[in-house]
Structure 1
Amino acid sequence: MSATEKKVEQHYGYHEHKDAHIKRLHRIEGQVRGIEKMVVEDRYCIDILTQIGAVSTALESLGFQILEEHVKHCVAGALASGDEKEAQAKSEELLEAVKRFAKTR
């Protein structure tokens, strides 16, 4: 089996909810376009900031969902595999992801 075939068959934790995540991202994209339109139309600063806050909250919420799915699928799978090296690597990866994610808040 080639590397390409392996990649096609591999699913990550978010795979089960992929369609919902894509729909959510499209809504967020629409919100961002709305903010752009507000700026073009010289709308009131506070109204723009309110919409920016809504987009930030929506992205943060999606990020937490994907992080949760990563823990339940990728990290849990590595821990259950019995492969100590893989479990350690996924644990370290998770800690780094949490640190990066926390910095965005």
Structure 2
Amino acid sequence: MHTHETHPAVIKRLRRAGGHLSSVVKMLEDGKPCLEVVQQLQAVEKAITQAKKTLIQDHLDHCLSHMLDAQGQAQPDSLDEFRQITKYL
């Protein structure tokens, strides 16, 4: 299993965002004002963005550092992975 120290916090944040998103859906179903709905969607978006940043930073800090050879040179696969993950920043 592939886990990092930050995973429990990221999971907690995403679960909270999921619950919050369900509340936003209910707000729409209940006909709440659009401004209120958009404000709550912004909060959900920020929570998800922060979770993503934390996960990416953790990956960069831990996984890619382990992909160096004995001379401290990055392996070709690790450089490709770095390029791929930075697309999500």
> TM-score, normalised to structure 1's length?
0.73
- Give the 4+ runs in structure 1 shifted more than 3 A: 81-86
> TM-score, normalised to structure 2's length?
0.84
Within a 5 Å distance, the mapping from 1:11-90 to structure 2 comes to 11-12=2-3, 15-79=4-68, 81-82=69-70, 87-90=75-78
Count of aligned positions: 89
SS at match of 1:54: helix
SS at match of 2:44: helix
Alpha-carbon distance between aligned partners in 1 of 2:7 and 2:66, rounded to the nearest angstrom: 19
Q: Between the two proteins, what is the percent identity of the paired residues?
A: 26
Gaps of 5+ in 1: 1-7
Checking the alignment, whether the CA contact within 8 Å between 2:6 and 2:54 is kept in structure 1 is no
Q: Is 1:96 aligned to 2:84, yes or no? A: yes
Gaps of 5+ in 2: none
Higher helix residue share:
1
